[in-house]
Amino acid sequence: MNRTMKIALFGPPGAGKGTQAKYIVEKFNIPQISTGDLLRAQVREGTPLGKMAKEFMDKGALVPNEVVIEMMKERISDGDCSKGFILDGFPRALSQAEALSGIVKLDAVVNIVVDESALVRRITGRRMCKCGGTFHVDFNPPKQTDICDQCGASLYQRDDDKEETVLSRLEVYRSQTEPLVEYYGKEDIVHDFDGNRQIDQISSDILGFLSKLEG
């Protein structure tokens, strides 16, 4: 690899960021850094940070910026991130993007664009595994009902994937996260992908684009 591959996956909740990140990890062997996964691990372990974060997550609100920024700064400074990484779910607010710019320059923002009408069904049908596996009851079912294809553990539905919370999360996306497309647009690094298609059609476009970026 000649160039670094420091990328952020963008898109509303349910766009398919986590799903697409798995393909990128597999092909380019760079780590996926998901703030949502990191926060859920803290919640599961019952740490003070996890207890605090859960209150915000359950409401569909953002966890306070300082907390998330600190967590990400630490993670990005790990040795496995030196050649590249995929940010999934970060940055999500202007102050997060500004803090990130202070430590690293992104090479590309992969923006997954999906019609709003599709998102609620994607999210309410999502089933997760603690290993990071992501499935959908109709669109991407596991081979065996409620069992993870990757590790065999039981799948679960996230507390915040209920319809009431989803609507708040979409509103938070529109007001706080979507403006970042313009922020990164100024650096000319945003690339849109039509996320309304099948999972493998989207991934083949994204992987093709990243191969060219790698140079």
Binding site for ligand ADP (CB under 6 A): 11, 13-19, 35-36, 39, 56-57, 60-63, 68, 89-90, 92, 96, 122, 125-126, 134-136, 139-140, 160, 169, 195, 198-199, 202
Task: Give catalytic status of residue 197 as yes or no.
Answer: no
Give whichever of 4 and 34 is closer to ligand ADP, judged by the CB atom.
34
Helices 65-76/94-101 angle, 10° precision: 30
User: Of Zn ion, ligand ADP, none, which one sits near residue 150, judging by CB under 5 to 8 A according to partner kind?
Assistant: Zn ion
Q: State how far Cα 133 lies from the chain centre.
A: 13
Task: Give catalytic status of residue 92 as yes or no.
Answer: yes
Give whichever of 3 and 58 is closer to ligand ADP, judged by the CB atom.
58
Q: Are 32 and 136 in contact (CB under 8 A)?
A: no
Angle CA 196–200–201, to nearest 5: 55
Task: Give catalytic status of residue 122 as yes or no.
Answer: no
Choose the catalytic residue: 75, 92, 122, 127: 92
Task: Give catalytic status of residue 126 as yes or no.
Answer: yes
Q: Strand, coil or helix: what is 29?
A: coil
CB of 44 to Zn ion, least distance (A): 14
DSSP-derived secondary structure for 171-213: HHIIIIITHHHHHHHTTT-EEEEETTS-HHHHHHHHHHHHHHH
Write the CB contacts of 209 (distance below 8 Å, at least 6 apart in sequence): 108, 110, 191, 193
Options 8, 24, 100, 129; binder of Zn ion; rule CB under 5 A: 129
Residues forming the active site: 17, 92, 126, 158, 169
Residues near Zn ion, by CB under 5 A = 129, 131, 133, 148, 150-151, 153
